[in-house]
Chains A and B, each alone.
Chain A
């Protein structure tokens, strides 16, 4: 193992597979990241503007060259506009994902979409009630149809406020009202952001950033929340289930199918097909002992949460997993799918399948999924994967999988607590648990893979802070062995005691990246139980290895909802110290929370612990100096 691999990832499977990929001549994101150095400083600072064709423009940070673009926009405006558009793209991604689920719900209501159905009727009725839809005298399909339509209205322009913001504490909603950032329509806020940042519209950088928060809220309390809730209705609300993680979850004697992307609409059907007797018989006929579906990225998390399907890895493992040579087929939907994957797969026998009309990739065969053909298409694809088993060459599975437990939906957590947040609040009040932190986000070749997540989370649980995590962060801690009840031994004495009593891990897997809304809902429940606002709680958020626009939107809805959030990589804002200061200091007076940027997870842990202790003190709870 050379220093190079060790500097790129803390994971053993990652290091070994990087070495193998290197030998096989496979180029990875890390190599491409290196080849990109130095990054363009204008872009890194947010000082380049490509919005209109009077430009493109850039601002000289050294104050000698141009200080304004052709239109007259200065550094503050350009940085704010760029950040606004970044958040809009993130919100659009989650929300469009949610829209696809609502469409499936609508299809189910119409009796179409064979293979799909309503798995959680109770949740359907509960959410429908929140939308003011009475269940009385209606059959499930009728409720589903009405809910789908009501949700579609949330996407449009007929509302003054999104329905589900009712879940936020009243104090929080008042702040939004006062600031004029109550999210109205999911698509509207994104659309308005694109409008505002068109040349010659909103040129007050503060006003742009306020709308950026509204846009992010339309994701967190709108698009993402709908995505999570409808997924639960269609596929079941997660309950704790054992699972396992790292590339060792691939089986040397089975047909391995990897699902990659975000939406459960495709992966659920693949999983269903892989369980069919006819296909299992075919697999045996081809010399395999079975069909093994495993996930990478968030569609994997969706399956893990609901079915305990194992996770082969997170974002930076998506290329490496192919280098095992043991993947018969990778089926992707959308988001975070590197366009390099087709090229990587061409070195092995792996068949690459794209499934969404809005996400096509070089080197992949496109097999489009609709609600109507999904079940059949999944059968066809799994069959092709089985038939590909015979083409497998040498395989390399250098590690054994690590055990984990997933499936901690809000319902599951409250269930574990006996139905109310009371016991958790008591533990916090007693100081056994100092507070809680939501650690979320991606991998980024700028940070040694998983180092940010695992280091931060270890420090937090050592200091009796309960951690909930999602997305790639959740996969990182699963690989690191922090997601079993036994992992409580890594926690401080107080948290250890609570975990032991409840038989839960100190790090709770709450799902995929759209599932970050589960964290918001849980925080709201805690705030309501205490009769206070989210920003008063001893909680924090962190995205130690974030890379994507979606993460920018998530971070912003966390902060706008009152959660202090520490980012690892620096967003492209340093071109305007006004923007930097507003986001890291000024917002505290506006929404009661700020961002912080700290790439070193050791230091980020200190920031979070300090924040939690300050909040405890303000609540009149015991506090210590950090």
Chain B
């Protein structure tokens, strides 16, 4: 089964995945129209900043077992076995935020969605773009990610790529997986600058 894989070292922090995710979960499905909708669609993938202001795409891992599923009071969180997706039933959800205490990744948000007139606030999280997948499309966040930080592939395949990359770099005598020179330069400068901030 193909899954969304995150390669955080490649995240450039452009937040395009956020916009695409929000649009994909809007009524219209289109970015421009989506920004005019009410409730305003919101992303289910969240690009945060790490210690060195590096981008970090954070989304539901669809854990198995899933702590949010156990913690859900009304039994609104369930697993879609076919796609291995942990989902929230907006009808059953009572917006109690018990799942906020349970999620070790902090990826669940609470807001209105286009459901029942868009008035009900519910727990919202990544649904692996099940609807898009049903139409033969890949998840929206992966589609717009141009730096390869998000991919949609068999987990075995991704693992193999990573192993290959490591062995290539080891045989080339380099350390770890290589990042492009300019990108490493930017990261190094940012890190140096941030360490400066702490200096007394």
Contact = CB atoms under 8 A, between A and B. Distances in A.
Contacts of A60: 146-148
A448 B181 CA distance: 27
B180 A61 contact: yes
Nearest to B149: A62
A446 B12 contact: no
Interface in A40-72: 40-45, 48, 58, 60-66
Nearest to A64: B148
A65 B147 contact: yes
A448 B195 CA distance: 11
A138 to B, nearest CB: 55
Most A C-beta atoms less than 10 A away, residue of B54, B147, B190, B199: B147
Contacts of B172: none
Interface of A: 6-7, 37-45, 48, 58, 60-66, 446-448, 451, 568-570, 574-577, 580, 597, 599-600
B196 A42 contact: no
A58 B196 CA distance: 31
Contacts of A451: 196, 199
A33 to B, nearest CB: 10
Contact of A37 (B49, B148, B197, B198): B49
A599 B196 contact: yes
Contacts of B197: 7, 447-448
B182 A38 contact: no
A4 to B, nearest CB: 10
A344 B106 CA distance: 33
Which 10 residue pairs across A and B have the least CB separation, nearest first?
A41-B12, A38-B13, A37-B49, A65-B146, A574-B182, A599-B193, A38-B55, A38-B49, A40-B14, A574-B186
Most B C-beta atoms less than 10 A away, residue of A37, A446, A576: A37
Interface of B: 10-15, 47-50, 53-56, 146-148, 179-183, 185-186, 189-190, 192-193, 196-200
B186 A44 contact: yes
A574 B183 contact: yes
Given A38-B55, A45-B183, A447-B196, A597 B13 contact: no
19 contacts: A37-B49, A37-B53, A38-B11, A40-B12, A40-B13, A41-B55, A41-B186, A42-B14, A45-B182, A45-B183, A58-B146, A62-B147, A62-B148, A62-B183, A446-B193, A448-B199, A569-B193, A575-B182, A599-B193
A65 B180 CA distance: 13
A82 to B, nearest CB: 14
Contacts of A66: 146
Nearest to B183: A61
Nearest to A8: B197
Contacts of A63: 180
Most B C-beta atoms less than 10 A away, residue of A37, A38, A44, A576: A38
Most B C-beta atoms less than 10 A away, residue of A41, A60, A447: A41
Nearest to B181: A577
A2 to B, nearest CB: 13
Given A38-B11, A447-B197, 11 more contacts: A7-B197, A44-B186, A62-B179, A62-B180, A64-B147, A446-B193, A448-B196, A570-B190, A577-B182, A577-B185, A599-B192
A451 B180 CA distance: 31
A313 to B, nearest CB: 20
A570 B189 contact: yes
Given A40-B12, A570-B189, A599-B189, A576 B148 contact: no
A63 B148 CA distance: 9
A597 B179 CA distance: 20
Contacts of A576: 182
A48 B146 CA distance: 12
A256 B135 CA distance: 66
A600 B192 contact: yes
Given A60-B147, A65-B147, A580 B12 contact: no
Contact of B47 (A38, A45, A64, A580): A38
A573 B53 CA distance: 18
A598 to B, nearest CB: 8
Contact of A580 (B13, B182, B198): B182
B168 to A, nearest CB: 14
Nearest to A57: B146
A62 B10 contact: yes
Contacts of A569: 193
Contacts of A7: 197-198
Contacts of A37: 13, 49, 53
A58 to B, nearest CB: 6
Contacts of A447: 193, 196-197
